[in-house]
Amino acid sequence: MRALILGLVLCSCASPRTKDCATLTPLLDEAKASRTLALGSKLADRPKRAGDAIRAVQVRDDAMKAPVFRLLDANDRYVAAMASLDELVTALRLTPNGTRGASDVQRAIEDARPHVERLVSRCWVIAEEAGPECASLRAALERCITPENDDITAEEQLLTCSMAVENVKTEDAVMVARTLRALEPFARNVGAHAREALDIAKKLAPKVGVQSAARTDAEKADAEIRALCNNP
């Protein structure tokens, strides 16, 4: 009984931050885990549940309120992107095992991102730095988005695209081509033909594409909250 009374007294004396952190820390752990692509019914479901759980917490410490708000905002954007990715997966008519290796796909795309950004900067953003490889890159991209006929499968088109990009003969292009080849097992499970898959991807890519920035913003806000919890 004395231990119980002592526990109640200590709890009542705890600072608002200590109480907030005790409630938020396990929820932050779940939210962080939910931002990793994994097998499941819908990719948006788990991060949405995690965000709803954090939103239900009444944050008392004033310093905690801003980073929690930023975390929720970033998580909402991530959930929206994952919902678009769910829509994309449905539209591509993946086979029952089609989502296997989703985390590998995400990792491959993230690895290719800096190479893509350098190519875009060199060939489109900074026009005066555009070299002869840029014309080759434009021709390669045209091949990527233009299947020869309606019967070309997604896997066949991806192979054509990777070979065309690799022929650009720059280090960044070779790395992007390597990423494209790594996506072939995923493309093999796409039921939609290449032309239909490309039309779907063009429509949804801008919505899906924000997930990386949203995840980065969420991680920053998460780190801010944990830093505050480590300095009660």
Cα distance between residue 73 and residue 218, in whole Å: 8
Q: What tokens appear for 217 in the block?
A: 């913003």
**Owner of token pair 């990715």:** 85
Return all residues near 203 (Cβ < 8 A) that are at least 6 apart: none
Strand, coil or helix: what is 94? strand
Burial letters for 212-224: b for 16+ Cβ neighbours within 10 Å, e otherwise? Answer: eebbebbeebbeb
| pLDDT score, position 26 | 96
Mean pLDDT of all residues belonging to the chain: 84
| pLDDT score, position 123 | 82
* Confidence grade of residue 6 (pLDDT, cut at 50, 70, 90): very low
* Confidence grade of residue 3 (pLDDT, cut at 50, 70, 90): very low
* Confidence grade of residue 192 (pLDDT, cut at 50, 70, 90): confident
First to last CA, the chain: 29
Tens of pLDDT, residues 105-152: 667 777 888 888 888 887 876 655 567 888 888 899 899 989 989 899
**Owner of token pair 């429509």:** 203
Considering the entire predicted model, what is its pTM? 0.72
Tell me which residue of 76, 25, 103, 98 sits closest to 215, measured CA to CA.
76
Any bridge partners for residue 193, and if so which?
Answer: 153
Cα distance between residue 154 and residue 193, in whole Å: 6
DSSP letter assigned to residue 124: I
